[in-house]
Amino acid sequence: MATLTIGDRAPAFALPDPAGETVTLDALLEGTKALVLFFYPKDETPGCTAEACSFRDRHEAFVEAGAKVVGISDDPPASHATFRERHHLPYLLLSDEGGRVRRAFGVRPTLGLLPGRETFVLDGRGVVRGRFRSQLRARAHAKEALDLVRALVAAPPGGP
């Protein structure tokens, strides 16, 4: 399993969205100052729902800062469609059935059983600028990511 560190270029990927359309990393980066990718274990579980809703509740602030937010789990597209609708999630969810992209990003399982919970902040070029891992502090990911996005956007050219 790869281990991404700050300063590494994120691995390219192509994953289906809830409508079954393929979305690539390059397409997500187009026209954005930052991209927040949060990997979560499973739709409709208490911790994952809390995390997804915390990103929802801060979504407008992410957009104002020039960032896109995308959630990724192993769930199939139909599950994501239901999850988005039920919780009014305004951002994209992608299906990584089989966990290939999760492994490419180096997101390790928790206790060897649960898919890991980890958030990456990428700059507009796809370079990793932040990485947060906490299975238990699910709500903290959105705040930490937003703080970093704001710092990146405020940095002078050639900054972090």
Q: What is the rounded CA–CA span in Å between residue 152 and residue 33?
A: 8
Q: Is 48 an active-site residue?
A: yes
Q: Of these residues, 34, 48, 107, 138, which one is catalytic? A: 48
- Alpha-carbon distance of 97 to 75, in angstroms, equals 6
CA distance 111 to 125: 33
Residues near 159 by Cβ (< 8 Å), separated by ≥ 6?
Answer: 152
Catalytic residue numbers, as ranges: 48
